[in-house]
Amino acid sequence: MSRIVCAFCIGSGKDPFGILSPRSACQVCLGRGTVELPEPHTPCRYCQGSGVNPHGSRLTCPVCWGKGAYSSLEGETETCPQCHGAGKAPLGYLPCSYCLGKEVIRR
Ligand SMILES: [Zn+2]
Ligand SMILES: [Zn+2]
Ligand SMILES: [Zn+2]
């Protein structure tokens, strides 16, 4: 496990959009400002590491759940045959359902 700065609130521990109240805690790190991820991990390309859903600016990224990175797949991987490595569903508003936005699958 390693501890990384929460991408969603950029380490502030506060909800970046203040949906409930400007002082409410970040829903991703629960106000800690950092999140734990198993090693090794991969920066999330779906949200470009921001942790924010690119298609719903106040939501967490559906691939990394707001952390900005996710645990890497173990073992050998290959490019997702469904999205051809794009990580997005055909319409582009959702992550690819086959690789779950991770762009690669376990071989
Ligand atoms: Zn946070
Ligand atoms: Zn993400
Ligand atoms: Zn895919």
User: Which ligand sits closest to the CA of 9?
Assistant: 1
| Judgement on whether residues 40 and 83 belong to the same structural domain of the protein | no
pLDDT attached to residue 84: 97
User: Which ligand sits closest to the CA of 63?
Assistant: 2
| Judgement on whether residues 81 and 38 belong to the same structural domain of the protein | no
Task: Report CA(105)–ligand 3 centroid distance (Å).
Answer: 8
| Judgement on whether residues 11 and 61 belong to the same structural domain of the protein | yes
pLDDT attached to residue 9: 96
| Judgement on whether residues 68 and 99 belong to the same structural domain of the protein | no
Domain of residue 104, residue span:
74-107
What pLDDT digit, counting tens, does each position of 83-95 carry? 999 999 988 789 9
User: Which ligand sits closest to the CA of 17?
Assistant: 1
Domain count for the chain? 2
| Judgement on whether residues 95 and 85 belong to the same structural domain of the protein | yes
What pLDDT digit, counting tens, does each position of 5-34 carry? 999 999 999 998 887 677 899 999 999 999
Rounded average pLDDT over 60-65: 96
| Judgement on whether residues 80 and 66 belong to the same structural domain of the protein | no
| Judgement on whether residues 67 and 92 belong to the same structural domain of the protein | no
DSSP readout, 74-101? PS-EEE-TTTTT--B-TTSSSB-TTTTT
pLDDT bin (cut points 50, 70, 90) of residue 44 is: very high
| Judgement on whether residues 54 and 28 belong to the same structural domain of the protein | yes
pLDDT attached to residue 56: 80
| Judgement on whether residues 35 and 80 belong to the same structural domain of the protein | no
Task: Report CA(5)–ligand 1 centroid distance (Å).
Answer: 8
Q: Which pTM does this prediction carry?
A: 0.90
Q: Which residue did the predictor score with more confidence, 105 or 22?
A: 105
From the CA atom positions of the chain, what is the Rg in Å? 14
27: number of Cβ within 10 Å: 18
Task: Report CA(90)–ligand 3 centroid distance (Å).
Answer: 10
Rounded average pLDDT over 42-53: 96
Which amino acid type is present at position 56? G
| Judgement on whether residues 66 and 94 belong to the same structural domain of the protein | no
| Judgement on whether residues 7 and 40 belong to the same structural domain of the protein | yes
Which of 16-25, 40-49, 66-75 is least confident? 16-25
User: Which ligand sits closest to the CA of 82?
Assistant: 3
| Judgement on whether residues 87 and 101 belong to the same structural domain of the protein | yes
- Which residues does residue 70 pair with via DSSP β-bridges, in sequence order? 42
